[in-house]
């Protein structure tokens, strides 16, 4: 059996479309539990920080360690050929975000606890949005929603901003994870 160039072109377009869809869904499946994990961490972290603001670092350092460790675990889970590449990329990405966050806070200090929270939330939102541009629209929508909700909370509900971030920010991440899971 031989194919015409039109048939070959059609088959290649089909391959391209299915590959794109498969890859996108795979990425969604990988991101979904991580979003839920960070949603829970935000929920707990921001809520506790609201009630014990002077203990922010004691609250967030262990939570961040759990989040990073959890992402590494989730990234490796289910792989038939365990690879360290993904783990190191996750770790390096997170460390780069933390380094950027600390550098910006150092340059623009003094910053309040709320301003620090806005900064890290916007950085996270930016990464989701940029990742979404490459991976899939649902991730981009998540990033955009997170950024908007963060700014709405900061400017409209300053007295309850940390609680806002716990319930609305954390809740949005959890919902986004479920949304990606159902894609």
Cβ distance 140 to 128 under 8 Å?
yes
Q: Provide, rounded to whole angstroms, the least separation between the CB of residue 83 and another protein.
A: 8
Cβ distance 19 to 161 under 8 Å?
no
Q: Of residues 26, 100, 108, 155, which one binds another protein by CB under 8 A?
A: 26
Q: Provide, rounded to whole angstroms, the least separation between the CB of residue 134 and another protein.
A: 14
Q: Residue 22 or residue 58: which is nearer to another protein going by CB?
A: 22
Helices 56-76 and 84-107, axial angle in degrees (round to 10): 150
Q: Of residues 43, 56, 75, 80, which one binds another protein by CB under 8 A?
A: 80
Window contacting another protein (CB under 8 A); options: 43-51, 57-65, 79-87, 157-165: 79-87
Give dist(CA 17, CA 55) in Å, integer: 50
DSSP labels, 126-177 = HHHHHHHHHH-HHHHHHHHHHHHHHHHHHHH-GGGHHHHIIIIIHHHHHHHH
Q: Provide, rounded to whole angstroms, the least separation between the CB of residue 138 and another protein.
A: 15
Q: Provide, rounded to whole angstroms, the least separation between the CB of residue 127 and another protein.
A: 21
| Position 89 contacts another protein (CB under 8 A) | no
**Count of residues touching another protein (by CB under 8 A):** 25
| Position 178 contacts another protein (CB under 8 A) | no
Q: Provide, rounded to whole angstroms, the least separation between the CB of residue 6 and another protein.
A: 10
Kindly report the backbone phi and psi dihedral angles of residue 2, in degrees, each rounded to the nearest multiple of 5, phi listed first.
-120, 155
The H or E element containing residue 58 is helix 56-76
End-to-end CA distance of the chain: 38
In the complex, the residues that contact another protein under the rule CB under 8 A are 1-5, 8-9, 11-12, 14-15, 18-23, 25-26, 29, 78-81, 83
């Amino acid at each position: 059996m031989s194919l015409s160039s039109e048939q070959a072109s059609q088959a290649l377009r089909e391959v391209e479309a299915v590959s794109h869809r498969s890859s996108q869904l795979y990425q969604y499946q990988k991101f979904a539990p991580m979003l839920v994990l960070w949603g829970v961490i935000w929920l707990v972290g921001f809520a506790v920080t609201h009630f014990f603001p002077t203990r922010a670092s004691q609250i967030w350092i262990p939570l961040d360690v759990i989040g990073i460790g959890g992402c590494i675990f989730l990234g490796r889970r289910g792989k038939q050929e365990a690879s360290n590449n993904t783990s190191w990329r996750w770790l390096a990405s997170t460390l780069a975000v933390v380094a950027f966050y600390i550098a910006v806070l150092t340059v623009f200090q003094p910053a309040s606890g709320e301003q620090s929270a806005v900064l890290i939330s916007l950085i996270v939102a930016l990464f989701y949005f940029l990742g979404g541009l490459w991976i899939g629209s649902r991730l981009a929508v998540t990033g955009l929603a997170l950024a908007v909700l963060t700014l709405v909370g900061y400017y409209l509900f300053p007295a309850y901003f940390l609680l806002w971030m716990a319930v609305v920010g954390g809740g949005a991440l959890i919902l986004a994870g479920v949304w990606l899971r159902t894609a």
